[in-house]
Amino acid sequence: MTSLLLIIIYLAFISLGLPDSLLGSAWPTMHLDLGASVSWAGGISMIISAGTIVSSLASDRLTRKLGTGKVTAISVCMTAIALFGFSTSHSFLALCLWAIPYGLGAGSVDAALNNFVALHYPARHMSWLHCMWGIGASTGPVIMGWAITGGLRWNGGYMIISVIQIALTCVLLITLPLWKRTSSPYKNMNPAPQTAHAKARGERLTLRQLLGRSGIKEVLLCFACYSALEATAGMWAASYCTMYREIPAETAAQWASLFYLGITVGRFISGFITLRFNDRNMIRIGQIIAAIGIALVFLSAGEAVLLAGLICVGLGCAPIYPSIIHETPANFGPELSQAVIGIQMAFAYVGSCLMPPLFGLIAQCVSISLFPAFLLVFLVIMVIMSEKLHITVTKKL
């Protein structure tokens, strides 16, 4: 039963990744059909991000009340309905309205599934779980491209993904009993850590109370910096290669895609490496590899070195995000893990939403050559915060 549930969770994360890259791949066609400006895609993206942040912060309350299985089923259903709404929309305003349930559905399921895997499964499954997200995010544009070239237009692409989400919702509803049969290794944890969080058992702490706990601010800054680094690298790598390093746009676009391929492949490999290293060391390994990658991007040593640098940044990013999530129950206790992971997700979305546009302003007003320096700033802050977090956790133990 545990293996079957794990397969369902993997499918849910593939499903979570499927819609994430649809807007970017479909917008060149969508904006013409809708009579919208090219830049208006940012408005839809911000509405989705805002909804995701809100639902991430509410994930603890929802999961306590409904359970992970029901939250996952409801969230996937909301996303399916929103995607169906996208497929039937004929105006930009309609897309903005459907973007609200789109974002609200994504945040809760992301936080709930991450916490469930952190509590019930070894670290390798967390890495592979996020590898599944990468597969979904890579498959979405392929489906959309097939729909557009096959005469189904962008509406058909959204409809196909909606049908997939509806099918998964049915599977999740049928398999709801499985979520209650999975045991957690934290049930047998030492009494001391449980006593430290006894007040949290059965209670829901306020956001202010959570932020006041030792180590919370550090992990949230760490998460925000990671997401800022990943999102900025993904969005601006191609522009940096073309506008500063004078690489042809077609080649630069392919190189930027290799950054995401590095993350996906890196998370698959990380699943095996976690058999040898704990979460803390996996985070450090990722940070070191990312630092090497940024250093290679800094160098003016030819195209091959630049390409290697972008891939290394992606490989370095791979283990950091899942490892921070997986160590959350150990750092803050299983009673607080859902609330903490929900806030972590919210800060991650804030970092990925705000920092790429900020670098866009820097690139426009100063120089796009600052791209690797911008990434380095967030990497340094992330390293400082993660090490400070681990020192704090070690002292508590």
φ and ψ of 55, to 5 deg: -70, -30
The CATH number of the domain covering residues in 2-176: 1.20.1250.20
Contacts (Cβ under 8 Å, ≥6 apart) of 355: 227, 228, 231, 232, 378
- pLDDT (tens digit per residue) in 146-205: 888 888 888 999 999 999 999 999 999 998 888 876 555 555 444 434 434 444 444 567
pLDDT the model gives residue 197: 45
Model confidence band, residue 133 (pLDDT cutoffs 50, 70, 90): confident
pLDDT the model gives residue 184: 56
Q: CA quadruple 168, 171, 173, 178: dihedral positive or negative?
A: negative
Task: Indicate the fold that domain 211-396 takes in CATH.
Answer: Growth Hormone; Chain: A; (1.20.1250)
Range among 160-164, 237-241, 302-306, 326-330 with highest mean pLDDT value: 160-164
Sequence ranges of the chain with CATH classification 1.20.1250.20: 2-176, 211-396
- pLDDT (tens digit per residue) in 51-62: 888 888 888 888
Determine the average pLDDT of the residues in 236-262: 79
The CA distance from 305 to 327, in Å, is 34
- State yes or no: pLDDT of 278 exceeds 50: yes
The CA distance from 67 to 46, in Å, is 28
Q: What integer best gives the mean pLDDT of the chain?
A: 84
pLDDT the model gives residue 301: 78
Model confidence band, residue 123 (pLDDT cutoffs 50, 70, 90): confident
Alpha carbon 67 to its chain centroid, in Å, reads: 21
What proportions of the chain, in percent to the nearest 5, are helix, strand and coil?
A: 85, 0, 15
Q: What is the DSSP letter of 182?
A: -
- pLDDT (tens digit per residue) in 11-55: 888 888 888 778 877 887 888 888 888 778 778 888 888 888 888
The CA distance from 260 to 131, in Å, is 11
pLDDT the model gives residue 202: 47
Strands (E), the chain: none
Residue with tokens 């919702």: 169
pLDDT the model gives residue 379: 96
pLDDT the model gives residue 96: 93
On the 0-12 / 13-18 / 19+ scale of CB atoms within 10 A, 135 is middle
- Joined tokens for residue 344: 């972590």
pLDDT > 90: what percent of the chain?
Answer: 27
Is pTM beyond 0.75 here? yes
Least confident of 1-5, 95-99, 220-224, 286-290: 1-5
